[in-house]
Structure 1
Amino acid sequence: MSCPHVTAIAAYVKSFHPDWSPAAIKSSIMTTAMPMNNSNQVLKDFAYGAGHVDPLKAINPGLILDLSEDDYVNLLCDIGYETPTVRKISGDNSTCPSLSARSLLKDINYPSIIYQIQLMQPFVANFTRTVTNVGFANSTYKASVMKGSNININVVPQVLSFRSLGEKQSISVNIARGKFSEPTVISSPLIWTDGEHSMRIPIIIDVTQT
């Protein structure tokens, strides 16, 4: 039943923001969702997604992560589609950028961060996201990360100050950890709040054994 419910919520958000893209609407729904009680769920976020959606919060998320047509073209090119196929999908003259000009898949401006690592291998990973201010014209958001997650997460900058609606700012998320000795799933959300709005970006580390 989740599909018709979320479809209705997306239509509801669209009625308030007719100029928002599907990606912006998806971001507003995901980042305002309430985290579920995962104490009895081994897979945690993989079991229920972003959480329990809230239509009222979704129409006023404060910040959103949006995607452009170029982002989708980059995505298709990075997963192996060549220019002729991409043009059939896009319906225009889109061209795959050179390898050096492409965005890494992990840096696609999606409202969650998921990273898979192998057992007994320390890792360091950097992710970038761009947020758009849709809350108050003059606002300041502060970042916080859930503690006790067994991983080190550093967010730069830790404070975002906006002076207009539609203003965009980029953030960098650095995640590091030593070796894991057994498979596990770690969840440690990044939350941005200005006191009125709260935007939650799930961060999930999936430790697997090949």
Structure 2
Amino acid sequence: MGFSETARRKPALESDVIIGVFDTGIWPESQSFSDKDFGPPPRKWKGVCSGGESFTCNKKVIGARIYNSLNDTFNNSVRDIDGHGSHTASIAAGNNVENASFHGLAQGKARGGVPSARLAIYKVCVLIGCASADILAAFDDAIADGVDIISISLGFEAAVALEDDPIAIGAHYYKNNL
């Protein structure tokens, strides 16, 4: 595609960027989310680490919240049991990981788009689905927490009218600082 592989990065500036990921959670022990060489969270961060059972934030994964209006009884942690949330978070802000592979295939370096960025995880999807109320609540929290960028990799089984689409509604509020 012609993108430069030698573009100068600005880790100090990038480490002040907070990416909010709305998905199935995260597996914080992954090398992609190690906080080695990270300083304290940016001063603008106002969020919390409410990751639930067996979950701890670090200086890379600085925030975690869980939403469960569907009352999924297996949903007691921001820990990702599906893998999708960890995957999307690593695409956005995964650290450099040498010798990464998929069961020995395609071995090489893996890294996200902004490896020095911080992550705030908003688990809006549980095993039985993703509720509109949870997505909208996550938008409210992400705005209040000081998130700079929101990453949402969700879809619906059927078409949703724009005025009923929780992602469109939340994005409108985020963009317009409402």
The verdict on a shared fold, with TM-score over 0.5 as the criterion, is no
Q: Whose strand proportion is higher, 1 or 2?
A: 1
Q: When the two structures are superposed, what TM-score results if normalisation uses the length of structure 1?
A: 0.26
Q: Which has the larger radius of gyration?
A: 1
Higher relative contact order (CA 8 A, sep 6+): 2
